[in-house]
Structure formats: structure tokens, C-alpha cells
């Protein structure tokens, strides 16, 4: 037995370092997956295209009566590059912040509305300030990445003289001065809502139901 002891000790000394090296070796890691797709970058924002057209249907060159608080309806129409009405466009009306001008409810200088099925949008619930003079209303329209803009020139006067007309070309029956005179005391927003709702009548509606002006409270209807 003693004769084989040196060989056993030598075998133990050889096996022990090998076992220790195996225990210290790091665990193998999974190899990277080949052909793994790279992360998809976020979609780039479409460039802004200024191809929307804004037609001023009412208000351009018109006057606001400060004494009787009669405002001209302020209505525009949004068209695409092919002159087709744009429904759902965001239309922003913006009054000047100083000098002659107007403001919306709460003293706000701007208002955002959506165009209807015929591409029309009206500024609602606004009133001119007490400063006489001319001013411009800045109007912008946005639909997706499409935009357009224009300005509407208006004038605040102390009192509109009966028979006076504005200087702008009007393409619809509801904007001339006789409409404003008959609706003394009606808020501009209400007027705009009425004219948009009754727009389908065209000129024939105005001729069959003329507006009559009488002293005192104005009346609307056919003459007796």
C-alpha cells in the first residue's frame, strides 16, 4: 500500500487544478441572433404645403357700427388646390391686439372653428372695440399638412349711414349693409350662424322675404 501512495498523491495534485479551472470559467453566453432587424425609426413629419385657398365670403371691406353694436358677419370658405370645399379644416380668426379691432368672448384675440360640409367657417361671438378706424383680421386654415392664409379688412365706424355700403366684393346675399341694419343689436356670432343656416336660399330668399326697416326695434319679414 505504501508503495502506491506517491502515485495517488500525484494523481490528486493533477486533478485538483483542472477541477478548479472548470469552476472558475464563465458560463457560456447565447450567440447573437443573425439577421435581427434594426429598430424602426419614427415616421418623419410630412412637410407643410401651403395650397389651401381661403375665400372671404363676408366681412371684407365692411363696417362695424359701434353706436348700435352691429357687426358685419365674418365668414370664409376653405378650398383645396382643385377649388373643392374642404370640410373639417381648422380655421383660426385673429384680431389685432391693439388699436381699432375686436375681440371674442372673454377678451380673446383669436378663435378656432371647423369648416362645415361646404368648406365655410364663421367667426362667432365677437364684438368690435370702441376705437374707430380700419383693421385687418388674419385668417389661417389648416387641414393635415396643408395650410392657407388671408386677411380680411374691416372698419369700425361710429354709426353706419343708411344706404352706405362696404368696399369689398361680396359673393353671397347675406353680407350687404341692409342685412346688418335690419339686425341691429344682434350679436355678430348669431348673425353668422343664421346666415350659414339660411345660405341655401340664395338671392331668391332675399327677394321673396325682404327685410323691412322701421323705427324702433327692427323687424324681419315680408311687408304687410
Secondary structure class of 39 (helix, strand, coil): coil
- Please tell me the predicted confidence (pLDDT) of residue 161: 84
Neighbours of 155 (CB within 10 A): 18
- Please tell me the predicted confidence (pLDDT) of residue 192: 58
Residue among 133, 61, 62, 59 at smallest CA distance from 96? 133
Q: Up-side HSE of residue 187: CA atoms within 13 Å toward CB? A: 12
Under DSSP, the state recorded for 85 is: B
Report all structural domains of the chain as residue ranges with CATH numbers, in order of start: 53-198 (2.60.40.1930)
The answer to whether the pTM exceeds 0.95 is no
Q: What are phi and psi of 169, to 5 degrees?
A: -80, 130
Give the pLDDT means over successive 10-residue stretches in the chain (224 positions).
57 53 57 62 76 96 95 97 97 97 97 97 96 98 96 96 57 42 44 52 38 38 43
CA separation for the pair 38, 195 (Å, rounded): 57
Strand 110-114: give its sheet, edge to edge.
Answer: 62-65, 146-157, 133-143, 90-94, 110-114
Amino acid at each position: 500500500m505504501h508503495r502506491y501512495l506517491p502515485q495517488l498523491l500525484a494523481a490528486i495534485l493533477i486533478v485538483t487544478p483542472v477541477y478548479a479551472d472548470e469552476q472558475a470559467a464563465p458560463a457560456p453566453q447565447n450567440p447573437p441572433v443573425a439577421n435581427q432587424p434594426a429598430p424602426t425609426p419614427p415616421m418623419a413629419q410630412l412637410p407643410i404645403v401651403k395650397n389651401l385657398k381661403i375665400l372671404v365670403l363676408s366681412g371684407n371691406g365692411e363696417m362695424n357700427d359701434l353706436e348700435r353694436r352691429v357687426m358685419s358677419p365674418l365668414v370664409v370658405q376653405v378650398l383645396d388646390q382643385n377649388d373643392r370645399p374642404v370640410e373639417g379644416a381648422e380655421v383660426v380668426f385673429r384680431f389685432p391686439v391693439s388699436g381699432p379691432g375686436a375681440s371674442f368672448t372673454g377678451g380673446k384675440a383669436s378663435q378656432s372653428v371647423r369648416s362645415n360640409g361646404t368648406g365655410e367657417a364663421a367667426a362667432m361671438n365677437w364684438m368690435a372695440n370702441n376705437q374707430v378706424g380700419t383693421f385687418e383680421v388674419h385668417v389661417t386654415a389648416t387641414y393635415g399638412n396643408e395650410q392657407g392664409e388671408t386677411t380680411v379688412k374691416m372698419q369700425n365706424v361710429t354709426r353706419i349711414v343708411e344706404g352706405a355700403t362696404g368696399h369689398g366684393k361680396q359673393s353671397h346675399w347675406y353680407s350687404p349693409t341692409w342685412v346688418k341694419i335690419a339686425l341691429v343689436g344682434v350679436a355678430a356670432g348669431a348673425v353668422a350662424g343664421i346666415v350659414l343656416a339660411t345660405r341655401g336660399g340664395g338671392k331668391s330668399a332675399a327677394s321673396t322675404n325682404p327685410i323691412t326697416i322701421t323705427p324702433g326695434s327692427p323687424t324681419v319679414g315680408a311687408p304687410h
